[in-house]
Structure 1
Amino acid sequence: MYIDIYFTSELPVDRDDLEDALNELDGFEVVGAGAGVSGSNLDVEVDDSVPRAEAIESVVMVLRQYKSDRGMYLRLSDTGERINAAQPGP
């Protein structure tokens, strides 16, 4: 499965730091990244041995750890589902 992470607002950390943190998770590998006028993205390949719910939870945990969960959403390759995982707040 692939999890594409889209950031629609400016990141409070360097995107490379997020890539490194995601790559440190067992079964996860950042395989692409990009930036444009509408925001930026990270493309993460998740090993099939990682349960879907655990994969989503792990990605969201890393984003929250780096305070990068506002103005973002996930798109899952296996279903095309879009998940807004941002915490509510100001």
Structure 2
Amino acid sequence: MVIVCRHGYVEGRVQGVGFRQSTAMEARRLQLSGWVRNLPDGRVEVLFEGEDEAVSSLAKWLERGPSAARVLALTLQEHPVQGEQGFVVKP
């Protein structure tokens, strides 16, 4: 089992559409740890880690997000594993 971590930003209509809560639900379903938060510039920032396949699945999900969202760009980078416990929505 390979554990990996990704950090990145989602751009588009991603605030005020349940993006953070939907991301947290999907991450928990995939048994990933990390966090998600809104940024003042309208983007959503996310960090998630876990098994490689599950991380890839969430990355694909983030490309579209929940039905009310309109994702225009997703930028993800490899990140050192943080040892996060659970997945939280940050204020």
Q: Which runs of 5+ in 1 are unaligned?
A: 79-90
Q: Tell me whether 1:73 sits opposite 2:77 in the alignment.
A: no
Query: Higher strand fraction: Structure 1 or Structure 2?
Result: 2
Q: Show CA shifts across 1:1-46 (max 9, x none).
A: 22224122221722332232233233312334240226221221x2
The TM-score normalised by the length of structure 1 is 0.54
Q: How many residues align?
A: 75
CA distance in 2, matches of 1:59, 1:69: 15
When the two chains are superposed, the root-mean-square deviation of aligned CA atoms in Å is: 3.1
**Helix, strand or coil: the match of 2:13?**
coil
- What is the CA-CA distance between 1:55 and the residue it aligns to? 2.1
CA contact (8 A) 2:8 2:75 kept: yes
CA distance in 2, matches of 1:19, 1:61: 8
Instruction: Write the mapping of 1:36-75 to structure 2, written as runs, cut at 5 A.
Output: 36-37=40-41, 39-44=43-48, 46-47=49-50, 50-51=51-52, 53-61=53-61, 64=64, 66-67=66-67, 68=69, 70-75=71-76
**What percent identity do the matched residue pairs reach?**
4
The TM-score normalised by the length of structure 2 is 0.53
Q: Which runs of 5+ in 2 are unaligned?
A: 80-91
Q: Match for 2:74: what amino acid? A: Y
Q: Tell me whether 1:3 sits opposite 2:11 in the alignment.
A: no
Ranked by relative contact order (alpha carbons within 8 Å, sequence separation 6 or more), the top structure is: 2
